[in-house]
Structure 1
Amino acid sequence: MPAARNPVAVRSILGSGLGIALFSSAVFGLSGSFAKALLETGWSPGAAVTARLTGAALILAVPAVLALRGRWHQLRDNWVTIGLFGLIGVAACQLFYFNAVARLSVGVALLLEYLAPVLIVLWLWAASRKRPRAATFAGTLLSLAGLVLVLDFTGAVKIDLIGVLWGMAAAVCLAIYFFITAKENESLPPIVLASVGLMVGAAVMWLTAATGLLPMAFSTADTRLGPWITPWWVSLAGLIILATVLAYVSGIMAARALGSKVASFVSLTEVLFAVIWAWLLLGELPGAIQLLGGVLIVGGVILVRLDELRGDGGTSTARKAGALDHANDVEPVP
């Protein structure tokens, strides 16, 4: 009887984990739309990022303290990982992405950021001087071809060059994030890394603003979300609670149910959800050429991921660098 029930149990667990992973991608994909709604009323990207990080850090502080259960030495033992995660993986990545969103459509900005796996492949290729396997190489070329279409050099859709540079900077930060968090660390609970990383990111943003290096502009003007005119705090609450807190918690649950590799693979659907949300809430939709480019980028990343998942021993790109695994089962906040 136990043997007969095992396949059903496995399918049930997989289905449950897959549903949670898709939910996580869906709420992560809301971040660009909520942020842009605030930016269009006069918020600066720095202010939106700072408010998001601060609010989410405060909410996640309670479960993080419970997860530590008095083992505060874990913070001291992992201060380098936490610091780099908060500075680059949280603060810089989000700031650059929001700056890109301020100048580009949400879909295009996120597609640029999701070139991170391709950047990792190119970096490893240059560092090791060893050509990737055929599928990884093909996926990289496919994504680069998609990038050309997303940038739409024909001029059918106007692309802001500064916005593109911000999007590529976000991709670089995301790639560095994967390297930072690639080392397996069983002593630090994922929720603790997420919470303390957000705190570090928020502290960096506030300190940068206090020095005058980061413009901080807030607005209490109403925001527009689809057909609705809402108070500013509705978009901010959505950015903090839905697109950060719930996104993180559900992402951790999905990674534990599916495994970090499969969960991070499913997280690629965030691009699709972000485009859909931007269309429904902001009336934004990339042009036909850009949508085709987006398909090529995502298809290329899928090829790279599939090649990594079928890699054995230490031969796969991800295992060579540990770069594409979401170590500690924590996803980045775009």
Structure 2
Amino acid sequence: MPVQTIDSSAGHRGRGVGLGLALASAVAFGGSGVAAKPLIEAGLDPLHVVWLRVAGAALVMLPLAVRHRALLRRRPALLAGFGLLGVAGVQAFYFASISRLPVGVALLIEYLAPALVLGWVRFVQRRPVTRAAAVGVVLAVGGLACVVEVWSGLSIDAVGLLLALGAACCQVGYFVLSDQGTDSGADTPDPLGVIAYGLLVGAAVLTVVARPWSMDWSVLGGTADMNGTSVAAALLLSWIVLVATVVAYVTGVVSVRRLSPQVATVVACLEAVVATVLAWVLLGEHLSAPQILGGVIVLLGAFIAQSSTPVKPSPDPVASGGPERELSRRSTAA
């Protein structure tokens, strides 16, 4: 009996630590757009900000890539897919969208990814989905209509909307690739290794696309305006690289290993809430009441879609906040 009590206490402590790490990950991820937008407004191209973020994080994670170098031989397609879609594609479209949209709106649109995954499963792969999943899709789409305020003739920036939808589609592409290219069991790749190589692949791709040699590097030596407050550009970049990328990915992976996927999904949805609140407080980006209500509906629909696994013989990759959390979920299941 005493042994069971000790084990129970240790389990509660482990879940408590996991919950704390999941909250830290949500806060870290949610702060990326708030730190990036002042740099973009200071004169940096969105693609250059993405390149700085991904290349800096890849450099920090390089030791992990060396440790898991066997992945290059075992999972080249997965590494390429994660780098192209889960890192370069998602971040490039998201950062481009926040240059034209409020941070919270852009991230809420990106949260359509779980609904789009289920649409792919139902209409492209022609596999049945649960009724609850269908309800989640309807809620997410209806909430998006409130976020973009369709009744006012789509007053939101159309290009920004398309860019945010591009970020959501990149997440869907990664989830589909993950479903086809990974196996369960002992051969499941270590998620930290995949993240490290995904960042390296993303940095290589973005180097060709963003052409950082044409960047105005002097911006990084100055300050950026954050709703009337001058903040050192180097400090904002350090936050984006170290906190919003490295710390966010690592804490997300570790937290999911200590929590159930359902709990991790709920906490992951806080990322959009954190981003919206931080943008409201630090950038002065106020959302209207219908947009706030729509955001709540989008997150509710995303949660239902994420919690309702499509009917299939093996697990299906439904998003829980981002590709890195799906990798963590697979590792936990194994």
Same fold per superposition (TM over 0.5): yes
Counterpart contact for 1:223–1:231, Cα < 8 Å: yes
**Could you list the per-position Cα deviations for residues 196-249 of structure 1 after superposition, in whole angstroms to 9, with x for gaps in the alignment?**
11111111111123499xx85552441133563122111111111110011011
Change (3 A) 1:58 1:137: same
Q: How does 1:109-128 map to 2 (within 5 A)?
A: 109-128=106-125
Aligned to 2:158: 161
CA distance in 1, matches of 2:329, 2:128: 30
Counterpart contact for 2:265–2:303, Cα < 8 Å: no
Per-residue deviation, 1:153: 2.0
Q: What's the TM-score once normalised by structure 1's chain length?
A: 0.87
**1:6 equivalent in alignment to 2:7:** yes
Per-residue deviation, 1:154: 3.1
CA distance in 2, matches of 1:39, 1:45: 6
Aligned to 1:322: 317
Change (3 A) 1:111 1:132: same
Q: How does 1:180-191 map to 2 (within 5 A)?
A: 180-182=177-179, 183-184=182-183, 186=187, 188-191=189-192
Counterpart of 1:171 in structure 2: which amino acid?
Answer: A
CA distance in 2, matches of 1:5, 1:78: 40
Counterpart contact for 1:46–1:216, Cα < 8 Å: no
Counterpart contact for 1:307–1:316, Cα < 8 Å: no
CA distance in 1, matches of 2:251, 2:120: 31
Per-residue deviation, 1:160: 0.1
**1:21 equivalent in alignment to 2:27:** no
**1:143 equivalent in alignment to 2:144:** no
Q: How does 1:124-273 map to 2 (within 5 A)?
A: 124-129=121-126, 132-155=129-152, 158-182=155-179, 183-184=182-183, 186=187, 188-210=189-211, 216=215, 218=217, 219-220=219-220, 221-225=222-226, 228-260=229-261, 262-273=263-274
Q: Secondary structure at the match of 2:230?
A: strand
Aligned to 1:38: 39
CA distance in 2, matches of 1:328, 1:321: 12
- The number of residue pairs the alignment matches comes to 319
Counterpart of 1:115 in structure 2: which amino acid?
Answer: L
Aligned to 1:91: 88
Counterpart of 2:48 in structure 1: which amino acid?
Answer: A
CA distance in 1, matches of 2:96, 2:158: 12
CA distance in 2, matches of 1:265, 1:272: 12
Of 263-272 and 107-116, deviating more is 263-272
CA distance in 2, matches of 1:152, 1:163: 14
Counterpart contact for 2:224–2:230, Cα < 8 Å: yes
Change (3 A) 1:268 1:320: same
**Could you list the per-position Cα deviations for residues 78-136 of structure 1 after superposition, in whole angstroms to 9, with x for gaps in the alignment?**
11111111011110110001111010000000001110000011111112445532211
CA distance in 2, matches of 1:143, 1:252: 26
Aligned to 2:71: 74
Counterpart contact for 1:260–1:327, Cα < 8 Å: no
Counterpart of 2:91 in structure 1: which amino acid?
Answer: Q
Q: Secondary structure at the match of 1:99?
A: helix
Q: Percent identity?
A: 34
Counterpart contact for 1:35–1:235, Cα < 8 Å: yes
Counterpart of 1:302 in structure 2: which amino acid?
Answer: F
CA distance in 2, matches of 1:61, 1:259: 29
Counterpart contact for 1:150–1:289, Cα < 8 Å: yes
Counterpart contact for 1:54–1:199, Cα < 8 Å: yes
Change (3 A) 1:118 1:282: same
Q: What's the TM-score once normalised by structure 2's chain length?
A: 0.87
Change (3 A) 1:280 1:156: farther
Change (3 A) 1:108 1:316: farther
CA distance in 2, matches of 1:307, 1:216: 44
CA distance in 1, matches of 2:144, 2:285: 19
Change (3 A) 1:169 1:251: same
Gaps of 5+ in 2: none
Counterpart of 2:301 in structure 1: which amino acid?
Answer: G
Gaps of 5+ in 1: 309-313
